[in-house]
A and B are shown apart, each in its own frame.
Chain A
Amino acid sequence: MPILVYAESDQGAFKKGAQELISFARGIAEKMNTEVIAAVTEDPAQANLGQYGAHRVLYCNHPALKEFNAELTANALAQAARETVATLVLVSSSADSRYLAPLLAIELDAPYLPNITGLPTSTEPLTFPHNVFTNKATAFTALHGSIGVLGLSKNAFGVQHHPDDASVSNMDLDLPGSSWEITSTEKANNKVMIADAEVVVSAGRGLKGPENWGMIEELAELMGAATACSKPVSDLGWRPHSEHVGQTGKPVAANLYIAVGISGAIQHLAGINSSKVKVVINTDPEAPFFKAADYGIVGDAFEVVPDLIQKLKDFKAQNA
């Protein structure tokens, strides 16, 4: 019974989250002795998904799927799951995947287990580790029934390379109309998004005012990073809500998280717990963030950050 993976694309290229998800599916497939089928809605010729671990690619080629619509994509994936007799359907942690997954689960009358952090700890019953209490703990949850929808936490498994070629076949779809209409989409194309970022540079009230964010943006640009902020900063309107990181904001699972002038409230620390390396820059050595961080500098952001920008430029010039 194969594993079906929803492999998302963005602007004509498979997302890194899709590559990681396929690798993760391959890891499960090897434990369960089955194959991995990647379901795609955009031209599969853009990349060989075999290199990440897919055995087959199923092209759900339908004009209504060209712009993401959770209802229709969930319907298409349910058809694909039935057609391939898949027992597991895997989705990522993107906003789109999280939107469609519960709809898909009901279409398939299946449980949905999101925020998975690793391979199954048991295959009978199938049991996965996943983040709960906003990364303050891990739960090991068993699935009942013959089919399940799984959501992988970002950066939990990593992209793995396989020497395979995936065969591609087309899937005929019969889709209903949608019960909603998308009237506009606003998306910043030149900015690194928190959801996809490898590096996130985040700042808090220690910056004293929104006019001081120039150096944070400069540091982020230099590092190819997304910018983020603490809750008080978003509540004060210094930065948009979409940058708010923490328990009621966004989780960040980056390779490197740099916090500038953020004291480290428990809710903020929970939100960034899945990030691999955490750096704090703060004047107060007693700030709780120092207990959660891997590296830190005790110092004034207005001196440390400009210095860091300069030294990073030198570092990049030397390592170019």
Chain B
Amino acid sequence: MKILVCISHVPDTTSKINFNADNTQFDTNGVQFVINPNDEFGLTRALWLKEKQGAAVHVVSVGGPETEPTLRKALAIGADEAIRVDQPATDGYSVAQALAPVVNEGQYDLVIAGRESIDYNGGMVPGMLAKLCGYAFVNTCIGLEIEGQSATAVREIDGGKQTLKMSLPLVIGGQKGLVEESDLRIPNMRGIMQARTKPLNVKPGAGAGPKSEVQSFQKPAPKEAVTLAENAEQLISLLHNEAKVI
């Protein structure tokens, strides 16, 4: 089985979000970049499949050379090969278009991407990629079992969950639940050393260009100070008379 894990290189969840002086670009100064958390759950699930039933696990990212440390981290955790598509990751549409040839050429049986990246929260790359490649697709995937050429996937729905069956090839948009937080792996020294010599292939950008473009950013207005209530009765009165929410 060949598995491709799509990895987004995103600011760490604790990052303070700032923009440049004219608010047209994200300010990466002092920001630590990590594997997108939703992708990391998927990467761990892929490594489990590899260990249990045997699989080649490749990771791919669309972006410039600055994304390579993130790909090396995925290799250090246990992926076998990395691919970087050398193209700025602008909108989700162009990222999916850039990934499609990688999926088609590699003839992957399973493509695991995160449900959404925590930077632009588009939540579109997995679905678009599936449609472009003619693969089946399960979004918000919280459970996945593969047996031969068939897959059973559990997806989270509003207020519950749903089980789906399909034949491979398949793309999933994964999230926590595929594995638990405590299952995530921290690269060890041996993994880090091995990652240095594992292949990291750079491919030229491909596919149609972006169909949307950020014009500017805005940070939320500073919040007014909290109104403290002395007790429950006063809180109810504030929520009823002032906030008018009860």
Residue in A144, A179, A255, A298 with the greatest tally of chain B CB atoms within 10 Å: A179
Whether A140 contacts B216 by the Cβ 8 Å rule is yes
Q: Contacts A180-B136, A223-B246 given: A297-B228 contact, CB under 8 Å?
A: yes
Whether B219 contacts A137 by the Cβ 8 Å rule is yes
Whether A127 contacts B215 by the Cβ 8 Å rule is yes
B-contacting residues, A229-269, CB 8 Å: 231, 235, 241-242, 244, 247-249, 255-256, 266-267
Contact with A along B157-197 (1 / 0, CB 8 A): 11111111111000000011100111000000000000000
**Bound-complex Cα distance A144 to B55 (A):** 40
Residues of B within 8 A of A136 (CB): 17, 219-220
Q: Contacts A138-B218, A144-B213, A186-B162 given: A292-B223 contact, CB under 8 Å?
A: yes
A interface residues, tally (CB under 8 Å): 87
Contact with A along B202-240 (1 / 0, CB 8 A): 000000001111111111100110111111110110111
B132 at the interface (CB under 8 A from A): yes
Task: Pick out which of these stretches binds chain A: B46-54, B70-78, B117-125.
Answer: B117-125
Whether B138 contacts A180 by the Cβ 8 Å rule is yes
- B interface, by DSSP: helix, strand, loop or mixed? mixed
**Bound-complex Cα distance A105 to B212 (A):** 12
Q: Contacts A103-B137, A106-B128, A183-B163 given: A297-B243 contact, CB under 8 Å?
A: no
B interface residues, tally (CB under 8 Å): 80
Q: Contacts A102-B131, A103-B131, A191-B159 given: A248-B13 contact, CB under 8 Å?
A: yes
A206 at the interface (CB under 8 A from B): no
Residues of A within 8 A of B29 (CB): none
Q: Contacts A111-B211, A143-B211, A182-B162 given: A277-B243 contact, CB under 8 Å?
A: yes
A85 at the interface (CB under 8 A from B): no
Interface residues of B (CB under 8 A from A): 11, 13-14, 17, 19, 37-38, 91-93, 96, 118-128, 130-132, 136-140, 142, 152, 155-167, 175-177, 180-182, 210-220, 223-224, 226-233, 235-236, 238-240, 243, 245-246
Interface residues of A (CB under 8 A from B): 70-71, 94-96, 98-103, 105-107, 110-115, 127, 129, 131-134, 136-145, 148, 179-188, 191, 193-196, 199, 223, 231, 235, 241-242, 244, 247-249, 255-256, 266-267, 273, 276-277, 279-280, 290-298, 304, 307-308, 310-312, 315
